[in-house]
Structure 1
Amino acid sequence: MSQPSLAPYVLKRPWLMRWAKPLSKWYFDAAAYRKLGLRSDDLIPEESEIMQRAMKRLTPKESYDRVFRMRRAFQCSLAHQLLPKEEWTKPEEDIRYLSPIIAELEAEVTERQGLEAMVINKPNTKR
């Protein structure tokens, strides 16, 4: 589920950061999901088992808010309209609420696979 990221590489190099920052702002604006009231984690496909389990771990309020944002965006899409500017998701509101849960679940799966693959050798007590 997790993809490799270039973010740590870019953040360590100020000259690259100066070049990438305006480009990233342009990209987020061009993606237009914020103009529909969505957050970045709302765009993660729900078909995977890990995503299904992560959505079950959301609090009832977060789950309700997610469904509300999705339905409102779907209605805007059907009407071929964007939300009024005051209802757009602001960059400071676009926080990752689902990605930490997904990372935690992936770590649990990795740990479980490691434990299931473990081979225990009993010491030979015959002498």
Structure 2
Amino acid sequence: MPAPSLAPFIRARPWLSKLVTPVANMYSNAAGYRQMGLRADDLISEENENVLTALKRLPAKESYDRIYRIRRATQLSLQHKLLPKAEWTKPEEDVPYLGPLLAQIEAEQKEVEQLDTLTVIKAH
């Protein structure tokens, strides 16, 4: 089960969004994953069955790009280096590609669970 999110609450209030957005961008830049060419969804652990299913559903190009980014970041980490600034992941490129698939998979699982627990009541 995913952790609760304040995102819908913040997005519904433009004044709060204006306050939080710069802090969120600062945090993303300080995390350092963009400096290694990664996207936020590249950091999602593959130990969950839902994540593995989502990875199987990725288009071939997106899957290849994900593996390339992770391997390049691993190599950079081993060398204690960062990419040149021109190759950093830009905020507009850091869009979720795995999150929507995970949401779809969780919705499918909920539907299956609801159908499995369905009780039929006979009317006389």
TM-score by length of 1: 0.91
1:55-70 maps to which residues of 2 (within 5 A)? 55-70=55-70
Q: CA RMSD in A?
A: 1.3
TM-score by length of 2: 0.93
Give the SS at the match of 1:20: helix
1:88-99 maps to which residues of 2 (within 5 A)? 88-99=88-99
Q: d(CA) in 2 for partners of 1:79 and 1:66?
A: 20
Q: Counterpart of 1:122? A: 122
| Identity between Structure 1 and Structure 2 (%) | 53
**Pairs aligned (count):** 124
Gaps of 5+ in 1: none
Q: d(CA) in 1 for partners of 2:108 and 2:14?
A: 35
Q: Counterpart of 1:32? A: 32
Gaps of 5+ in 2: none
Q: Is 2:44 the counterpart of 1:44?
A: yes
Q: Counterpart of 2:53? A: 53
Q: d(CA) in 2 for partners of 1:12 and 1:106?
A: 24
Residue 21 of structure 1: how far off its partner (Å): 1.9
Q: d(CA) in 2 for partners of 1:18 and 1:105?
A: 32
Residue 123 of structure 1: how far off its partner (Å): 4.1
